[in-house]
Amino acid sequence: MKPVLLILLLSLYACSPSPEDLANIASQQFRESGETEESWLHDGELHFSTALEWQKASFQNKRATSSDFLLALDEQGRLVINIADNQSLKLHSEELTRKLNKQFEIIGPAVGNKNKYKDLLISDAVVLIASQNGWLKSV
């Protein structure tokens, strides 16, 4: 199963904009989200962060960052899910947050946890999870 997942990830990575591009667009969503009254959309600051930083962040920060990434993927025309209304965006953001929490679950001693997660970017995991859930258009 792991080789298939690796091949899928590599093909998505090769055919997709770079994770840095996605993080840049998501970061822009964060700056623009100040225009809404929805408090849950504010304060996402993990766009360029690693899994270690994700582990330490608040739920509000994680959920807002997840919504920014979903909005960025939608802006790129890559999503097949509908996040046009805030309720749908919130539900998908919370689901993405739960899945990222599971993906980046703290394991074992601090040294082992740090070694496993220090170089894993959230933007990479977002694309992988979105793909696994069927949220991305086929390339």
Report domain extents, the chain.
Answer: 2-132
**pLDDT single digits (tens) 39-86:** 777 778 999 999 999 999 999 999 999 999 999 999 999 999 999 999
Helices (H) and strands (E) in the chain, counts: 7, 0
Rg for the chain, CA atoms, rounded: 15
Give the integer Cα–Cα distance in Å for 98 and 38: 20
User: Could you tell me if 17 and 38 are in contact, meaning their C-beta atoms sit under 8 angstroms apart?
Assistant: no
- Predicted confidence (pLDDT) per residue in 12-42, tens digit: 444 455 556 766 666 665 445 445 557 777 7
C-alpha atoms less than 13 angstroms from C-alpha of 50 in its C-beta half-sphere? 9
Identify the pLDDT of residue 12: 47
Query: H-helix or E-strand containing 76?
Result: none
Largest CA distance in the chain: 44
The answer to whether the CB of 72 falls within 8 A of the CB of 22 is yes
